[in-house]
Structure 1
Amino acid sequence: MIRPITKRISQRIFTSSNLYRNGAFTKFPAQTRSLVAAPKPEQGPLMERRSDRELPEINNGGMLWLRTIPIFLVILGSSCLAIFNYQKSSSPVVASTMYALRTSTKAREVLGDEVYYAYKMPWIWGEINLLHGKIDIHFSVKGTKQRAVMRFTSHRAKRMGSFVTTEWSLETADGEKHDLFEGNDPFEIIDADTSEKKIVGRGSYAPNISG
C-alpha cells in the first residue's frame, strides 16, 4: 500500500514541475493605472471622474477673505444709512413741511416757484423721534430763484400733548436766514385733532377694554 501512494505523489510532483517550467503557473503582471491630472481652468469639462485621480492644488492664500471685511463693513454701513434716510424722507413730517413750504408766501419770495428738494435723492439730516416727541431736521430745497436749507424743529412737552414748532426757517447760500414761522404751525397738518372722536383700530389708539 505504501509503494502505490509514493508513486502517485512522485507523479504529481513531476507533473507540477513540468507545468511550472512550461509557464502554466507564471504570475501575471499587476495592472497599473497612471494618475489623471485635474483639469486646468482653460481646459474643457471633465466628462468622467476616476477614484485615483490627482487631487487639485490648495491655494496657500486661504485668509484672503479677511481683506474684504472692511469693504463689507463699508457697504453694510452705507446700506443702513440709506435705509434710515429713506425712512425719514418718506415720513409724514417731511411731507407736511414740504407742503407748508410750497404754500408759504415768504418761502416763495426767497426760493421762487416750483419748490422741491434740491437733489433727486434728498438727504434728511437730523432726528425724527415721534415717540419721544422730538423733531429736529434740515435738508436742502430749491426753487426757480435759488437754493436754501430748510430747518424745522418741533417738540412735544407731554406724551399726549401736541407738537409745538420752535423753528421753521430758510438759510440761503450767502448765510442769510429767513424765518418762515408766522404763527401757522405746519405740523398741525399731521397732528391729531384733540376734539376728534377716537376710533378703535385707528393709528396708535388703544381701545378701552374696561368698557
Structure 2
Amino acid sequence: MLLSRAVPRRTGLVRLPGVRQITPRRTMIPAPGPNTGPLTERRADRELPNITTSRGWLKTLPIFVVVVGAAMLGIFNYQKSSSSVVSSTLYALRTSPRAREILGDEIYFAQQIPWISGEMNQLHGRINISFWVKGTKAQGKMRFRSIRPSRTSYFRTEEWSLETEDGTVVQLLDSDIDPFRQE
C-alpha cells in the first residue's frame, strides 16, 4: 500500500522536452476476400465487409412455417393425450360393462399416436373431446362433453358416448350412475 503511493503512476506517454512526439497511425485494412487465407489477426479499425442481400431465406420460410406449425399441433395434442381428463375417461371406459360388451377387453387408443380432437379448456369449464379407442372385439370413437356452470361448482357430464364403426351411437352415461360425478 505504501509502495503504490510512493511510485507515481504513468498515465500516458513520456514526454521529452524538445522531441516531437509521433503518434502511431493505423491504416485501414481491407476485409478478407473470398480466396484469402484465414483471418489471423483481428483489428477493431479494419474495413467492414460488403453486405450482399440474398433472398434465399424466402424459399425456406414456408418450410419453416410448416415445420413449426406441425410441431405445435403435435405438442398440443400430446398435452391433451396425457391429461387427467383423457386418462379418467379411458379408465371409465375400461370399467364400463356396456363399453366392454361392445369393444371387448384391453381398451386403449386405436392408434399408436392418438389424435384427441375437440376442446379441453378446464380453466373456463369446457371439455368437449373425442378420440378413437379399440378393444379386442371392435373399435369406436368415444365422445366426452362436460361443463362447469360456475367457477365454484363441479363439472357436469353432459355426454359420454361411443360410436362404433358402423355408425351406431351408444350412450354410456346413465342418468342414475355417473362415473365422473364428484360430491
Give the TM-score of the pair, scaled to structure 1: 0.61
Change (3 A) 1:82 1:48: closer
Show CA shifts across 1:3-46 (max 9, x none): xxxxxxxxxxxxxxxxxxxxxxxxxxxxxxxxx9828xxxxxx6
Q: Deviations over 1:76-131 (max 9, x none)?
A: 11111111111111111111000000000000011011100001111110011111
Q: Equivalent pairs: percent with the same residue?
A: 52
In the TM superposition, what is the alpha-carbon distance from 1:69 to its structure 2 partner?
0.6
- Equivalent pair of 1:97/1:186 in contact (CA under 8 Å): no
Aligned pairs, how many?
A: 142
- 1:69/1:112 Cα in 2 relative to 1: closer, same or farther (>3 Å)? same
| 5+ residue gaps, structure 2 | 1-32, 42-49
SS of the residue corresponding to residue 180 of structure 2 reads: helix
Q: Determine whether 1:80 maps to 2:72.
A: yes
> How far does the alpha carbon of each residue in 1:119-174 deviate from its partner, in whole angstroms, 9 at most, with x for none?
11111100111111111000000001111000001111111111111111110111
Q: TM-score, normalised by structure 2?
A: 0.70
Moved over 3 A (4+): 46-50
Q: Name the amino acid aligned to 1:98.
A: L
Partner of residue 83 from structure 2, selected from 91, 94, 106 = 91
| Structure with higher helix content | 1
**Residue 102 (structure 2) pairs with residue 101 (structure 1):** no
Determine if contact 1:140/1:149 at 8 Å carries over to the other structure. Answer: yes
Taking only aligned residues, the RMSD between alpha carbons, in angstroms, comes to 2.4
Q: Distance in 1 between matches of 2:122 and 2:102?
A: 30
Shift in CA distance, 47/67, structure 1 to aligned 2, threshold 3 Å:
closer
Give the gaps of 5 or more residues in structure 1: 1-35, 40-45, 51-57, 194-211
Largest Rg, 1 or 2: 1
Match of 1:143 among 135, 152, 166: 135
Q: 2 CA distance for matches of 1:127 and 1:186?
A: 21
Contact 1:106 1:180 in 2 (8 A): yes
